[in-house]
Amino acid sequence: MNLPAEYTEHHYQSNDGLSLYYRNYGASDNVLICLPGLTRNCKDFEELARHLASRWRVTTPDLRGRGQSEWDPKPSRYRPETYVGDIWKLMDDLAIQNFTVIGTSLGGWMAMIMASQQGGRLRGVVVNDVGPVVPASALARIMKYAGRLPPVRDWPSAAQQIQQAYAFALPSMPDSFWARFVRLSMHKNSDGWILPDMDPAIAGVLRKAQRQLKILRLLRRAGLMKRASATIDKGYWDQFQALTMPCLLLRGSISDVLPVDLVAQMKAVKPDLQTVTIADRGHAPLLDEPEALTAIDSFLEQLARHPEQQ
């Protein structure tokens, strides 16, 4: 699993002055950008990027506050809309007009927002295990561990932490997997402590939003917010409807973030939505599974064969 480094490393500056990091794999004119989940970073896409690099130029950014990107001194800016603005800045800096997006979880929401803003620039979209809304029970589960793993001194202890947090979604994985996965998820700071590779304020912002949403729902149920009742749980349905370009939806077979009934709702809104289920995966598939790679390869080949549909 120790693959050689086959990428180049770069930094660019956001519109509000942060130094943001990204990697480039390959040198094709066909550009693919991979957007990570809430607490994740560009390292999640290492194997997928290497798999595609001979045919695609794959760009994998660290969102602000993650990995090697600078932390935001104003945590209130840790929002999907801000992250999307950062990605548009990167694409514009690189003079890339048209590209394909693969988005995991939060990255999938970002793809939906991008489609609603400048859909003509997106050739196609792969959404990994997320829909326009997240069930409250799944969000509560994520909030139990997101940003809450205490620092430890050694990598075996860190691997045990990660296994406890993610075993629900990645069952029956060997110890060797967790020993590698922890290196994608955590880092050692200058004091020798191993902790999540992200600004802890990110989870704090999300928890604050979760509390506010609960209050709004209570007010609605009490009949004190009738005008807002139609919008409180709207999520990203409007943005999802902007996915008029070809779109592939990947779902983990045991995912609580993307239940089967939500997939059916998405298909009703977008009948041409392609869907593939990844066996024995929760939230979210790693995108190195054979069935995930096959589905992504097939989808990208369709884009290459039928550019007139883009």
Closest-CA residue to 162 (of 123, 153, 150)? 150
Determine the pLDDT at residue 6.
Answer: 87
Looking at the domain assignment, is residue 197 inside a domain? no
Looking at the domain assignment, is residue 73 inside a domain? yes
Looking at the domain assignment, is residue 297 inside a domain? yes
Q: Cα angle vertex 74, ends 71, 80, to 5°?
A: 75
Count CA within 13 A, CB hemisphere, residue 134: 22
Backbone angles phi, psi at 287, to 5 degrees: 70, 15
Looking at the domain assignment, is residue 154 inside a domain? no
Looking at the domain assignment, is residue 49 inside a domain? yes
Average pLDDT over residues 180-206: 93
Q: For the segment 28-54, what is each residue's pLDDT rounded down to a tens digit?
A: 999 999 999 999 999 999 999 999 999
pTM of this structure:
0.92
Q: Which domain holds residue 284?
A: 7-134+236-309
Determine the pLDDT at residue 38.
Answer: 94
Q: Which amino acid is at 246?
A: P
Measured CA to CA, the distance from residue 107 to residue 101 in angstroms comes to: 9
Looking at the domain assignment, is residue 160 inside a domain? no
Determine the pLDDT at residue 34.
Answer: 98
Determine the pLDDT at residue 89.
Answer: 98
Measured CA to CA, the distance from residue 301 to residue 284 in angstroms comes to: 23
Measured CA to CA, the distance from residue 263 to residue 22 in angstroms comes to: 31
Looking at the domain assignment, is residue 260 inside a domain? yes
Looking at the domain assignment, is residue 188 inside a domain? no
Determine the pLDDT at residue 308.
Answer: 55
Q: For the segment 106-131, what is each residue's pLDDT rounded down to a tens digit?
A: 999 999 999 999 999 999 999 999 99
CATH number at residue 74: 3.40.50.1820
Count CA within 13 A, CB hemisphere, residue 249: 26
Q: For the segment 198-255, what is each residue's pLDDT rounded down to a tens digit?
A: 999 998 887 776 665 555 555 556 665 555 444 445 789 999 999 999 999 999 999 9
Determine the pLDDT at residue 2.
Answer: 43
Q: What is the dihedral of CA 138, 34, 289, 26, to 10 degrees?
A: -170
Total domains in the fold of the chain: 1
Q: For the segment 128-165, what is each residue's pLDDT rounded down to a tens digit?
A: 999 999 998 998 888 887 878 899 999 999 999 999 99
Task: Using pLDDT thresholds of 50, 70 and 90, give the confidence band for residue 9.
Answer: very high
From 73-77, 142-146, 186-190, the region with the lowest mean pLDDT: 142-146
What DSSP string runs through 121-135? GEEEEEEES--SS--
Percentage, residues of the chain above pLDDT 70: 89
Measured CA to CA, the distance from residue 273 to residue 233 in angstroms comes to: 23
